[in-house]
Structure 1
Amino acid sequence: MTQEQVTEFFHQQLGTNACLEAEGYTIDDPPSLDTFIDSYMSGQDIWLAYGSLPVLSQQEWYRIQEVCPQP
């Protein structure tokens, strides 16, 4: 992805993060945009909103994906 595409992906993750928090989940704080881009471009693990979710029942997993789709 280009830097512009990574930036858009980051903003999509922020939207998902806000949705998950509105559903009552506690999500790890996102990194800065610069840190996210640097991590992505260097092949390091990146922050994802869904990465902070606890283990969910199958029913809840399907529900949360409907309510807060992953980018």
Structure 2
Amino acid sequence: MKKCVEEQGWIVEDISGGIHIKYRPEQQVEAAAAIRECSKQSLGLAPGETVPPPSDRQVRDYYQALVNARECLEARGFDLSDPPTLDSYLEKGIGSWDPYGEVLTVTGMGPSEFDTLTRKCPQPQLYR
């Protein structure tokens, strides 16, 4: 993934559990597009091919990673709501609970601050 993003002209750093792309706020859309395309390639998908739905195991692992990330965020002073139960999360679906989204909503944090935060508390990845 790192090599793919670098080949598209982005500066990429390794961080625990993933990569960090350096970009200016006005480049956020382009950076996200590069990540999406490289994520698809890392999954072995051809251009235009859609990502298959995650397996039950992937969703469960992702939920647990979000719970762990929430603990990291709280350790840095963010007061977050309690996570839903696993059953509730599975029923409502991916995206129904996101501690990072909660941080952004509550704080109005900008991209630079959010980048700094995700270096300390890396965002989990559904597809690895």
Q: Give TM-score scaled by structure 2 length.
A: 0.49
Which structure has more relative contact order (CA 8 Å, sep 6+)? It is 1
- Offset of residue 25 of structure 1: 0.5
Count how many residue pairs are aligned between Structure 1 and Structure 2.
68
Please say if residues 26 and 52 of structure 1, whose CA atoms lie closer than 8 Å, have aligned partners that are also in contact.
Answer: no
Task: Point out where structure 1 has 5 or more consecutive residues left out of the alignment.
Answer: none
1:36 aligns with 2:86: no
Structure-2 residue corresponding to 1:63: 116
| Superposed counterparts of 1:1-71, under 5 Å | 1-40=54-93, 45-53=95-103, 54-71=107-124
Q: Give TM-score scaled by structure 1 length.
A: 0.84
Secondary structure of the corresponding residue to residue 56 of structure 1: coil
Task: Point out where structure 2 has 5 or more consecutive residues left out of the alignment.
Answer: 1-53
- Offset of residue 58 of structure 1: 3.7
- Offset of residue 57 of structure 1: 3.6
More strand by proportion, 1 or 2? 2
Query: Rg: which structure is higher?
Result: 2
User: In 2, Cα distance between the equivalents of 1:14 and 1:51?
Assistant: 13
More helix by proportion, 1 or 2? 1
- Aligned letter for 1:49? P
- Offset of residue 9 of structure 1: 0.4
